[in-house]
Chain A
Amino acid sequence: MSEDLAFWLSYITNGKHLTWYASFQFTIFAAVFGGTLAVVFGLIGATLKNSRFLPLRLIGTVYSSIVRGVPDVLFFLFFPLAFEQAVEWFIASQVCTPDMLAAQSAAWPPCKEANWFLGTPEYLILASVSLGLVYGAFATNVIHGALRSVPKGQLEAARAYGMSASQLLWRVHIRQMWVYALPGLSNVWMLIIKATSLLSLLQIADIVLWADRLGAPNFLPAVGLVHEDWRWRYYLVLFVFYILVTLLSEKVFEAIMRRAGRGILSEVRH
């Protein structure tokens, strides 16, 4: 019995497993950074959508409807690739000389010197930005709706006090908007959490990739077969992990909503 325990203890603390545990940082970073960016892009998008200037309003509307109209995976893959190419194209226009261009045989980049190598940190940041862009479109809609449900009387009162337009926006409108936006933003956050499972598509060695590697049939010449195909066990762990994260986020959002709703008389609080 104690031998069994010792085996399992050493099994789940071996080097590869420790790397797996460490890779949770990528998922957490992408969720937190992506979520923050989504709120920022949401605020920008909602402001654009509310703008009095037609082209800006169009940009806001097109952004929120086009990005939501295509699958998140597509945009999630497209944005980092397109960004990388755009940067390489810019470098190429600065660096490449005609003989460098002539020496290059591959389709891309234009010359070898213009190649921009992306490691895990770069991909992680790009992935977070694209999560922010995709879910910012969802947040745009949520915040746009929330801005419209702030009671008119509050804004009129603020105006009657002689507040300027920006004071009114920042001190009254956006402050009060959160109560109405929180239920929707909590939905967006749940979507972001679930989308963090896609990081491995951008060559980041995240929890999903490690679960696959660790679960694959493990054969050591010295020991023989350590374990057969255990992938489903590792994926089951991730399945439960994500459910627990959802549960935790729900509780946290409930607490935030209770706190944000203090002193506001409305039917928003159930």
Chain B
Amino acid sequence: MERFLDELALFAPAVVFNIYFAAASIPIGFVFAIFLALGKASASPLISRLSRGYIYAFRGSPLFIQFFMVYSLALSFNVGVWKPMGLSWFVLHPLFIGPLVLVLNTAAYTAEIFYGALRAVPRGEVEAARAYGMSRVQQFRHVIWPNLIRLAWPAYTNEVVFLFHATAIVYFALPVIGQQKDLMITAKELFERDYNAFLHFSVAALYFLAVSLVVFFLFGLVYRRLMRHMPAAPGLRFAPKWLR
């Protein structure tokens, strides 16, 4: 029991890195995804094709490869661009590259969710808004967006949890600097020390589970707030889909 508590304490600093990666990439990815989803639904064929292609490419390839690709690209620009500007320490740092790639990745998945919700916004409401003489910005702000976010929220919750799970591979692709280790690297190093796979990996899994449940709880609260005008709050299903 004491061993288990010690183990929990050992992993506590590590989970901060996973939470950092998720927390840094979710807000930016959210905003980026809105533009991507609107781009995909855009009437202009150029914008629509570009967003469609971006979403397809980043949903159709492994995050692991995306990490390696972006990191090696950043490395190849190092001598020419970053070094003269004195930015290498920042641009090549995992704490920057990690969220960058996660943003690129989650934006594509989130955009697909938002695009689906955008198409499910009731036509009649948009037509009514147009009949009232609302400008396009007003239509989006007052009619489309509130509908969209309510429709997309349950799926978006799953995406956030998935993104948190995806933070597990950040340090398998990027260099570990000093004591900056996330849950997986901590578990792996402890395993290599005493070969106790069951203890170390289970504790890491427990942390992942615990944070996922907290995310579900918080996003459930937001969902209830979003749906407060509805007669019977449907509530976010506690058994989540976990599938992208």
Contact = CB atoms under 8 A, between A and B. Distances in A.
A228 to B, nearest CB: 8
Given A65-B239, A72-B165, A195-B62, A232 B69 contact: yes
A110 B57 CA distance: 48
A160 B241 CA distance: 36
B204 A212 contact: no
B212 interface: yes
Contacts of B63: 194
Contacts of A197: 62, 64-65
B195 A107 contact: yes
Interface string B164-193: 011011001000000000001001100101
Contact of B205 (A74, A138, A231): A74
The secondary-structure label for the interface of chain A is helix
A108 B195 contact: yes
Contact of A198 (B64, B198, B205): B64
B164 to A, nearest CB: 8
Interface residues of A, number: 47
A212 B68 contact: yes
A231 B75 contact: yes
The secondary-structure label for the interface of chain B is helix
Contacts of A85: 195, 197
Q: How large is the interface on B (under 10, 10 to 19, 20 to 34, 35 or more residues)?
A: 35 or more
Interface in A225-260: 228-229, 231-232, 235-236, 238-239, 242-243, 246-247
A68 interface: yes
B188 A229 contact: no
Nearest to B60: A246
B51 to A, nearest CB: 16
Interface stretch (A50-58, A76-84, A118-126): A76-84
Nearest to B165: A71
A239 B66 contact: yes
A70 B75 contact: no
A157 interface: no
A78 B61 contact: no
B72 interface: yes
A65 to B, nearest CB: 7
Interface in A96-115: 107-108
A81 B75 contact: no
Contact of B62 (A65, A107, A211, A242): A242
B204 A231 contact: no
A53 to B, nearest CB: 21
Pairs of residues from A and B, 10 with the lowest C-beta to C-beta distance, nearest first? A246-B60, A108-B195, A231-B72, A71-B165, A197-B62, A235-B69, A71-B168, A194-B62, A232-B72, A242-B61
Interface of B: 56-57, 59-66, 68-69, 72-73, 75-76, 165-166, 168-169, 172, 184, 187-188, 191, 193-195, 197-198, 201, 204-205, 208-209, 212, 239, 241-244
Given A208-B64, A231-B68, 20 more contacts: A68-B243, A69-B242, A70-B205, A74-B168, A74-B201, A75-B205, A77-B201, A85-B195, A85-B197, A107-B194, A138-B243, A193-B62, A194-B61, A194-B63, A197-B65, A232-B69, A235-B65, A236-B69, A239-B69, A243-B56
